Amino acid sequence: MSKLNRIVDFYIEGFTSLSDWARTLWIIILAKLFIMYVLLRLFFFQPDMKVNFDNNEDRANHVIEQLTNP
């Protein structure tokens, strides 16, 4: 457990001792990741496969048909 505590302390110390521009850069990176993974998935990538098909076999058959048809 002490090894895990040392690793966590290492990262906490590293992030708290960042300069202002590095902290701003991390905020920008995290905001972009939030936009890409949460907002785009929420609004543009709807779970159509779960709505249109009842089970995994039907979903798999649909994917195979879409991949093999030109």
User: How is 3-66 classified by DSSP, letter by letter?
Assistant: HHHHHHHHHHHHHHT--HHHHHHHHHHHHHHHIIIIIHHHHTS--HHHHH-SSHHHHHHHHHHH
How confident is the prediction for the chain on average, in pLDDT?
87
**What average pLDDT does range 31-51 have in this prediction?**
81
User: Does the pLDDT value for residue 48 go beyond 80?
Assistant: no
> In the Cβ-directed half-sphere of 1, how many Cα atoms lie within 13 Å?
0
Which of residues 49 and 33 earns the better pLDDT score?
Answer: 33
The distance from CA 45 to its chain's CA centroid, rounded to whole angstroms, is 13
**What average pLDDT does range 3-23 have in this prediction?**
92
For residue 40, the model assigns a pLDDT of 80
Instruction: Determine the 3-state secondary structure of 67 from DSSP.
Output: helix
